[in-house]
Each structure stands twice: as C-alpha cells, then as structure tokens.
Structure 1
Amino acid sequence: MRFAIIDLGTNTFNLLVAEHTGKGALRMLHEEECPVFLGRGSTEKGIITDEAMERALVALRELMDVARSYGAACVKGFGTSALRSARNATDLSTRAKALFDLDISVITGEQEAELILAGVRQAVSFGTRPMLVMDIGGGSIEFILATDKALMWKRSFELGATRLLERFTPSDPLTIDEQFRLVTYLDTQLEPLFAVMDRHWPAALVGSAGSFDTLAELVALERGDTWAPDQVTMTFSNIEFDAVKERIIGSTRAERVVIKAIPEYRVDTLPLALIAMERVIAHGIEELRWSRYALKEGAAVRMDPA
C-alpha cells in the first residue's frame, strides 16, 4: 500500500510518500519540504496567526495533491511543537479535515522523540553503548538516548531555533555578548540532559534532519565532496563541526543567503541552531553522525501495511 506522512513542523511541512514492499521493508518514493513558518510570531504567544493559518492550508493543499499524484491511498499528518503550544491548533485540524480529508494528530514531545528514533534507526546503526539523538525543530529540540536494543531516555525541550530567534532577537551578525547570553540560557535549560549524559557517556551524537541536514551539506562542501541528495547518513569530526560553526556564526545574513547549502528559510535560525549543537557537543561528545531520516520516516515505519 502506498501512503504519505506529513510532518507539520514549526517552520516547514515535510512530506514523505512511501510503500511497504511486502517483505517487511519500506520503500521511500518521494519527499518534499515546504516552508510555512507556522510558528512565526506565535511561539511566545501560544496562537497561530491568521496569516500562518492560511500559509499552512495552502501548503497542505499542495502536499496533498503531490501525495495523491503518487497514488497514496492514505495520508496522515503529525503536528509538533507549534501546534502543541497553540490554543487554536484545533482550528487548523478541523479545516484540514474538512478541506482535504486529512487527519492531523498533535503528538506530545515524548511521542515525537519516539518517532524520531524510529526514523533514525533506518539510517544509523546503533550499538551496545548508547548514542544521543538530537533533533532541532523550529519550536522544540528532542533528545533521545538509545542503544541497539533499548530507548533509555527521551525528553523534549522548548528550545527550537525559531523560539530562540524570537526570544533573543539577535543582531546581524551575532555579537559576543549575545552569544554569551544564549549559551548561558541553553546551559541552564539543558541541565537535565547534561545529568543524563554524565551518567551514560554517549558514544556519539546523532543529529537528525532539519538544521543537521544543512550542517552535513556544509561539512561535505568543506571537504570538497559531491553532495548526494539521496545520502542518508554521514560521520564527521568535532574539528569539521567547529570549522562550519565558526564560519556561520561569524557571518552576516547577506553572506549566508548566498551559500547554496543553506535554505532561505534556515538563514536566520542556523547560527542559533549551531550554538545549541555546540553546547551539547562540548559536554563530552567525541563523534558526530547525521541522519536524514527522522520523524516522518519513523511514522512511516509504524504505519499499518494492511
């Protein structure tokens, strides 16, 4: 059966069309990312603006048309941080059902973390020593500690890149003082994570999708590698991460706009996302991995093949 998943994120809506092969495996047929900025101007207010609501419905119409063009018999939507925190989230769900017959499940941060892990497992091999998965969205960051056999710990923090952008409204480029204030804030908010890391000492940090997609492509460009759009995982060093981080954090918006590897909708948030990554990496991480697969692939794996 062919089906589709739509991940309704705070910044982008992400479509995956897939099918079960009949052998317990999954074949990915098409994926597409649509900038919506659902949480723009609303992450601190707890309401989706009328303008964002209209952008969301336009995007859903386009993505539903694409899904049906691929023969998807079933389409399921998953709402994350922006919808979790919006008092009028049901307005979007109700209109999406009426207009497109699309059911949207607004999932908890813990459920989101579980789906992210299920997706990451399709791209990255885990071992007996735990690894830490980090997924930076616009509204929240999910962390999952897992081995090849168990999910050991999970937590969602309301520290997504758009939330940080609206909270700190940084200069262009970021000043040293702004970086210090952001680092201090993140270190305080992430104390529960650091306590878990101190107990279990993860073998690696696995960054999934979103800002990590952009980071992986920037690392590949620094290496002089040809970027393969169908590449699903990569390993890189702390030194390679630091080189990209320093280049991007010290850049102006105008300089980032012309870097082809950075999507326009990530130009403003990428420096903040990189600082969030750095705070985790600085806490004893010695190996970095990237997974293209995340929530939507995890949701696809759990779809009933019947």
Structure 2
Amino acid sequence: MRLGVLDVGSNTVHLLVVDAHPGARPLPAYSHKAELRLAQLLDESGAIDPEGVGKLIDTVQSALEVAEDKGVESLLPFATSAVREASNADEVLARVKAATGVELQVLTGEDEARLTFLAARRWFGWSAGRLLVLDIGGGSLEIAYGMDEEPDAAVSLPLGAGRLTSGWLPADPPDAADVRALRRHVRAQIARTVGEFSRLGSPDHVVATSKTFKQLARIAGAARSTEGLYIQRELKRRTLEDWVPRLASMTALERAELPGVSPGRSGQLLAGALVAEGAMDLFGVETVEICPWALREGVILRRLDHMPTE
C-alpha cells in the first residue's frame, strides 16, 4: 500500500510518500518539504503565535493535497519538539484538526529516540551488534542504545540545532564568547546522560542520523546524496574537530557555499556541529556511520509491524 508520513518538525514539515508492505523494505516514492521553522515562531510566553498557527494549517493542507495527488491510502501524521513544547500545544492541535481534519500525534522525546533506533536497527541489521544511535533535530538531540529493536536506554535532550542557534548564537558570524558558552552548555547537558549509557557496555557500532549529521559528513568529504543510499558515509571526530572553528568563523551565507549545505540550514550548522562534537567526545566515539533511515522510517516500520499480513 502507499503510505504517507507527515512529519511536523522544528525546522520543516515533511511529507514522505512510500510504497510499503509488511515484511518488505519501504520504497520512497515522493518527498514534499516546506520550511516552516516552528521553533522560531514562538512568542514570549512560549506559544506558537497566531501567524505561525495559520502557516502550519496552510502547510498541512498543502501536504494533504500532495498526498491525495500521489495516491496515499493512509496518512501517519505526527509532531515533534516544536509543537510538543509549545505552551499552547493543545490549542494548536485542535485548530489544525478543525481546519484540516488531521489529528497530529505528538511524539515524546523518548518516542523519537526509540523509533529512530528501530529504523537504524532495521537498516544495519542484527550483525551490527550493540548500537549507539545519535540524532540531532531542530529542537532536540536523541540518544539510544541497545542490542534489540527496542533500545535499553533512550533519552532526548533540548539540544536541537535550531533551538540552540536562536537561543545562543544571535550574531552572524557568531561571537566567540557565545560559541564558548554554548559549547559548555552542550557538554554539560550531554555529560549528565553518559553514565546511564556507559553502564550498559561499549557499543559495537555507532550510527548517526539527521540532516545535521549528513551535512557535517558531506563537508568532511562523504559522498554526495546523489550517489545513492548504499554508499557508506562516515564522520570522524578528528575531522569534525577541525571543522568546528572554521564553521564558527563563517557567516551563514559562507556556510551555505559548502558542499551539501542548504541555505535554510546553514545558519544552524555550527550549533549542530558543537552538539555532534560534544556527543562523540563524551561518549568516546571516534567515527559514526551515517544511517539513511531515521524517525520517519521508524514510524513507517512500526505501523507495518502492526498491520496484518495477507
């Protein structure tokens, strides 16, 4: 059947259309994205402002029209940290449902970590052994570890690249003191979780998902996305450590000229790099392998797991 996953994230609203059947690999059929940046549409009280709600409704309606055009039989709509943490989340969800008929499922941070872990496990298989999975979104950092399809530990930290950029790095290029302060904040937050994972033993394989990690790997020399999903892509901590001060010295416009970096994401790439560097350092990781599948694929896989086979 043809499924649509509607992901209302902190940066984008992304509709992924796939052809999927129980026991088979989901095959991407179409992708539709709109940059909404909900995390930046909050007022002083932490609520998504009326203009932002209106934009969200219009974007969801547009995605519904695309889904219909592409023959989607079932839509799986969900929202992550930007909606989850908005002080008027219930009102936003009600208005979206009233205007579009779409009932967004709000995932917890732990849900995000567990579903992303499931996607990584299915991608790499059982031979990967104990997996440590890192995912940097616009609003949060997810970390999960385990041997099975359900992780033994899963946490979500408020260390998303978009959130940190708007809250800590107002200047362009950023002020050196602000960068140092953000670096300290990121590492202090991550350090609080390390013990929970280290008691479980060393991972056999460390993987990273998300646009942030993909872009960092690309500027560090990984293959282009046009070369396909099955090319192995890695990011080494030593290379990332070399890139962080370079990114800190650049404007957003200059970062957008780097290979694989989109103009819409260039402003928050430094914050994402600081989170990636901090996580790899504090967890003692020298290299991460980039996983093409992430949260959206995890949502699809979980749905397929609960569908009856014919």
Contact 1:44/1:163 (8 A) holds in 2: no
Change (3 A) 1:15 1:96: same
Instruction: Identify unmatched segments of 5+ residues in structure 2.
Output: none
- Percent identical residues: 25
Q: Distance in 1 between matches of 2:6 and 2:260?
A: 23
Q: What secondary structure is seen at the aligned counterpart in 2 of 1:4?
A: strand
Output the amino acid matched with 2:101: D
Deviation per CA, 1:137-179: give whole Å up to 9, x if none: 1211111112245511001111212221232134322333222
Change (3 A) 1:142 1:49: same
Higher RCO (CA-CA < 8 Å; seq separation 6+): 1
Q: Distance in 2 between matches of 1:88 and 1:289?
A: 38
Change (3 A) 1:128 1:18: closer
Q: How far 1:242 sits from its partner (Å)?
A: 3.3
Q: Distance in 1 between matches of 2:241 and 2:134?
A: 17
Contact 1:37/1:52 (8 A) holds in 2: no
Greater alpha carbon shift after TM alignment, 230-239 vs 50-59: 230-239
Contact 2:121/2:131 (8 A) holds in 1: no
Query: Number of residue pairs matched?
Result: 303
Residue of structure 2 in register with 1:20 after alignment: 20
Change (3 A) 1:124 1:55: farther
Residue of structure 2 in register with 1:213 after alignment: 214
Change (3 A) 1:227 1:42: same
In the alignment, structure 1 residue 289 sits paired with structure 2 residue 289: yes
The RMSD of aligned alpha carbons is 2.4
Greater alpha carbon shift after TM alignment, 109-118 vs 128-137: 128-137
Residue of structure 2 in register with 1:29 after alignment: 29
Greater alpha carbon shift after TM alignment, 180-189 vs 252-261: 252-261
Change (3 A) 1:15 1:244: farther
Residue of structure 1 in register with 2:105 after alignment: 105
TM-score by length of 2: 0.87
Output the amino acid matched with 1:205: V
Deviation per CA, 1:235-293: give whole Å up to 9, x if none: 34333333443432321222123335222221211100100110111121022111221
Greater alpha carbon shift after TM alignment, 164-173 vs 176-185: 164-173
Instruction: Identify unmatched segments of 5+ residues in structure 1.
Output: none
Output the amino acid matched with 1:193: T
Deviation per CA, 1:72-107: give whole Å up to 9, x if none: 111121111111111222333223323332221112
Q: Distance in 1 between matches of 2:128 and 2:37?
A: 39
Change (3 A) 1:126 1:49: farther
Change (3 A) 1:218 1:260: closer
Q: What secondary structure is seen at the aligned counterpart in 2 of 1:293?
A: coil
Contact 1:76/1:103 (8 A) holds in 2: no
Output the amino acid matched with 1:248: L
Q: Distance in 2 between matches of 1:149 and 1:296?
A: 16
Greater alpha carbon shift after TM alignment, 99-108 vs 22-31: 22-31
Output the amino acid matched with 1:207: A
Change (3 A) 1:177 1:197: farther
